[in-house]
């Protein structure tokens, strides 16, 4: 018998009717002879509602109490699904994070999973009991309830799959797989059958929202076979094709490596330029030290050559929500005359092309730049990794750039 982990996101458990559909999906796997562990998110919108309550109660609250409140969304769906399964005649029980336990380390509201106790879960699975597990929840070493950060239940599911040595970890969501780009922007976007962990990691961190980045990292480390598929298919009447979704797997399990597999975009970017920064050792360390102290995440960085041999311009990008904090953290240094003006521009987007085939092909970046040039789109900043090229452009050209690149790399054709 194989152990299968099934994870259902917020929209998939958003109402009693939908929880009912989830129960039939679980029933399908049980009938197929599998031992099933289910991981659920809170009902869609519920985590936001709970966070709102904590803010109303006290604007500066204790993170431990925040976790106590915010973790309850998953407790509700967990119990509801277990009840619903029992109604179908399937033996099931809910397990809370601290009961399993899912031990976490690190900060409250952004905890990391350290280890998962498997004795209780395994005993249930071996007795034919479906275990229903809340995503997002854990317990700290001193016994307090913790949460893993927004979108954390994908990570819970992968961690449970790794701990139970599951054959698969199926992530049921509101889309039927990972697409070559966002179908809302490019109607010719295609569902990808197989994608490597590395590519998925880049796509997820570059703005494709289908999986939490951390969950992909964890799947890669533990070699968990991840599948993304839709929870809206008819559980009673579905074909193998409906259930195919997108498999996220090892590069070696993909026969044909595409040069570019997908295009991601993110509008959540801001560009910050520091003018007349002294061209001397230690200055970058100071600037980025200030930003790190302020908890700002810096992404792309370019330093221009110095025109006069004395000062240079430094440009970098940060998430839009952190732009004001970034500027504030640098004002003191600017005031002390360590550099000239600070310019911030929030009207920028990052467009990324991702593909493992890039490693062995030349001319990939050139095609990107030529395609954008042909559309008259100016590139503000460029950054690359082994399997990714990202450019920063003005926000208004986001759709145009995504569509042009999608067709330039023939992603509509394969």
Binding site for ligand ASP (CB under 6 A): 10, 41-42, 47, 73, 135-136, 150-154
Q: Which does 134 bind (CB under 5 to 8 A by kind): ligand ASP, Mg ion, none?
A: none
For residues 173 and 349, which CB has a smaller minimum distance to Mg ion in the complex?
173
For residues 227 and 276, which CB has a smaller minimum distance to ligand ASP in the complex?
227
Cα(195)–Cα(144) distance, rounded to whole angstroms?
38
- Beta-carbon contacts of 54 under 8 Å, excluding residues fewer than 6 positions away, are 61, 65, 66, 69, 70
- Name the 3-class secondary structure at 397: helix
Strand order across the beta sheet in which 137-139 lies: 112-116, 102-105, 137-139, 145-147
Nearest distance from C-beta of residue 108 to ligand ASP, angstroms:
15
Among left, alpha and beta (phi > 0; psi -120 to 50; other), residue 412 is alpha
Task: Write phi, then psi, for 122 (nearest 5 degrees).
Answer: -65, -40
Q: What are the E-state strand segments in 84-201?
A: 92-94, 102-105, 112-116, 130-134, 137-139, 145-147, 168-173, 194-196
Largest Cα span, the chain: 79
Nearest distance from C-beta of residue 21 to ligand ASP, angstroms:
18
For residues 232 and 369, which CB has a smaller minimum distance to ligand ASP in the complex?
232
Nearest distance from C-beta of residue 2 to ligand ASP, angstroms:
25
Cα(14)–Cα(72) distance, rounded to whole angstroms?
15
Query: Which H or E run contains 312?
Result: strand 311-319
For residues 70 and 404, which CB has a smaller minimum distance to ligand ASP in the complex?
70
For residues 73 and 207, which CB has a smaller minimum distance to ligand ASP in the complex?
73
Task: Please check whether residue 5 is in contact with residue 162, taking contact to mean a CB–CB distance below 8 angstroms.
Answer: no
Nearest distance from C-beta of residue 5 to ligand ASP, angstroms:
15
DSSP code of residue 345: E
Nearest distance from C-beta of residue 151 to Mg ion, angstroms:
5
For residues 40 and 130, which CB has a smaller minimum distance to Mg ion in the complex?
40
For residues 9 and 97, which CB has a smaller minimum distance to Mg ion in the complex?
9
Among 4, 5, 8, 9, indicate the residue that binds Mg ion (CB under 5 A).
9
DSSP code of residue 377: P
Strands 168-173 and 3-8: parallel
Nearest distance from C-beta of residue 10 to Mg ion, angstroms:
6
Sign of CA dihedral 79, 83, 88, 90: positive
Nearest distance from C-beta of residue 317 to Mg ion, angstroms:
25
Binding mask 143-162 for Mg ion (x = CB under 5 A): --------x-----------
For residues 7 and 388, which CB has a smaller minimum distance to ligand ASP in the complex?
7
Taking CB under 5 A as the binding criterion, the range among 6-14, 269-277, 310-318, 393-401 that sits at the site for Mg ion is 6-14
Taking CB under 5 A as the binding criterion, the range among 4-12, 89-97, 183-191, 389-397 that sits at the site for Mg ion is 4-12
Q: Which does 152 bind (CB under 5 to 8 A by kind): ligand ASP, Mg ion, none?
A: ligand ASP
Classify residue 117 by burial, with Cβ atoms within 10 Å: 0-12, 13-18, 19+. Answer: middle
**Does residue 134 interact with Mg ion by CB under 5 A?**
no
Nearest distance from C-beta of residue 134 to ligand ASP, angstroms:
9
Q: Using CB under 5 A as the criterion, which residues of the chain lie in contact with Mg ion when the complex forms?
A: 9, 151
């Amino acid at each position: 018998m194989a152990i299968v982990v099934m994870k259902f996101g917020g929209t998939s458990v958003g109402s009693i009717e939908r929880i009912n559909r989830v129960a039939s999906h679980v029933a399908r796997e049980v009938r197929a002879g599998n031992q099933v562990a289910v991981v659920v998110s809170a009902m869609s919108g519920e985590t936001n509602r709970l966070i709102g309550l904590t803010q109303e109660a006290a604007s500066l609250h204790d993170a431990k109490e925040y976790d106590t409140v915010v973790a309850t969304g998953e407790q509700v769906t967990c119990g509801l699904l277990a009840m619903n399964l029992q109604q179908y005649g399937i033996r099931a029980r809910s397990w809370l994070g601290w009961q399993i336990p899912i031990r976490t380390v690190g900060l409250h509201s952004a905890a990391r999973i350290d280890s998962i106790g498997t004795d209780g879960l395994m005993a249930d699975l071996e007795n034919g009991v479906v275990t229903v597990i809340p995503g997002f929840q854990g317990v700290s070493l001193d016994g307090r309830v913790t949460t893993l950060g927004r979108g954390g239940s994908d990570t819970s599911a992968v961690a449970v799959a790794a701990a139970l040595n599951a054959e698969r970890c199926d992530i049921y969501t509101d889309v039927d797989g990972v697409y070559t780009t966002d179908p809302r922007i490019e109607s010719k976007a295609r569902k990808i059958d197989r994608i490597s962990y590395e590519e998925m990691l880049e796509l997820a961190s570059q703005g494709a929202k289908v999986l939490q980045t951390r969950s992909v990292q964890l799947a890669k480390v533990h070699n968990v076979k991840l599948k993304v598929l839709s929870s809206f298919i008819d559980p009673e009447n579905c074909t193998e094709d409906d259930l195919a979704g997108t498999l996220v797997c090892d590069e070696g399990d993909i026969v044909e490596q595409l040069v570019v597999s997908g295009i991601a975009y993110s509008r959540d970017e801001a560009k910050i330029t520091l003018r007349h920064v002294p061209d001397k050792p230690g200055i970058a360390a100071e600037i980025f030290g200030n930003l790190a102290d302020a908890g700002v995440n810096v992404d792309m960085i370019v330093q221009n050559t110095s025109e006069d041999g004395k000062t240079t311009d430094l440009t970098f990008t940060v998430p839009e929500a952190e732009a004001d904090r970034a500027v504030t953290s640098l004002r003191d240094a600017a005031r002390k005359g360590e550099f000239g003006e600070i310019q911030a521009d929030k009207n920028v987007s990052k467009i990324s092309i991702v593909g493992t085939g890039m490693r062995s092909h030349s001319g990939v970046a050139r095609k990107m730049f030529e395609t954008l040039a042909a559309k008259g789109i100016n590139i503000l900043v460029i950054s690359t990794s082994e399997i990714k090229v990202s450019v920063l452009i003005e926000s208004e050209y986001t759709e145009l750039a995504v569509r042009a690149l999608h067709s330039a790399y023939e992603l509509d054709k394969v």
